[in-house]
């Protein structure tokens, strides 16, 4: 079945999937902020550092990923980033405290 799909559709699907995961990641962070504030007894100003850290990491990794993609190839870079993101998400989920 995959051999019948034009390559451009496979690339478009992978791109949309990656974009969805990035948006989902930011949504999870924003949704978790109130619970993090209660759990760590942190105020809004302290929690803002989480959002700032996320945005700074995006500002660093987006240009760096362009350089890495030029050096190692876009497909390999995308698959590596996807694997790291998935593994880190699974690790974070396994370490999350249960909600009661």
- pLDDT > 60? residue 100: no
Residue 21, judged by CB atoms within 10 A of its CB (0-12, 13-18, 19+), counts as middle
Angle at 98 between CA 88 and CA 90, to 5 degrees: 15
Show me where the domains of the chain are located.
Answer: 43-93
The pLDDT assigned to 85 comes to: 86
Give percent above pLDDT 90 in the chain: 32
Six-digit token string for 16: 């949309």
Note the pTM of the prediction, 2 decimals: 0.68
What's the mean per-residue pLDDT of the chain? 86
Q: Which of 89, 87, 95 is nearest to 28 (CA)?
A: 89
Q: Hunting for tokens 């504030």 — which residue is that?
A: 37
- State the average pLDDT over residues 34-38: 90
Six-digit token string for 4: 């019948």
- pLDDT > 60? residue 1: no
């Amino acid at each position: 079945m995959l051999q019948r799909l034009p390559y451009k559709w496979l690339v478009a699907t992978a791109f949309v999937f990656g974009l969805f995961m990035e948006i989902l990641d930011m949504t999870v962070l924003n949704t978790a902020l109130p619970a993090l504030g209660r759990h760590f007894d942190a105020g809004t100003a302290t929690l803002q550092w989480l959002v700032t850290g996320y945005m700074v990491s995006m500002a660093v990794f987006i240009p760096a990923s362009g350089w890495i993609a030029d050096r190692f190839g876009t497909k390999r870079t995308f698959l590596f980033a996807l694997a790291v993101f998935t593994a880190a998400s699974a690790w974070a989920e396994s370490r999350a405290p249960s909600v009661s």
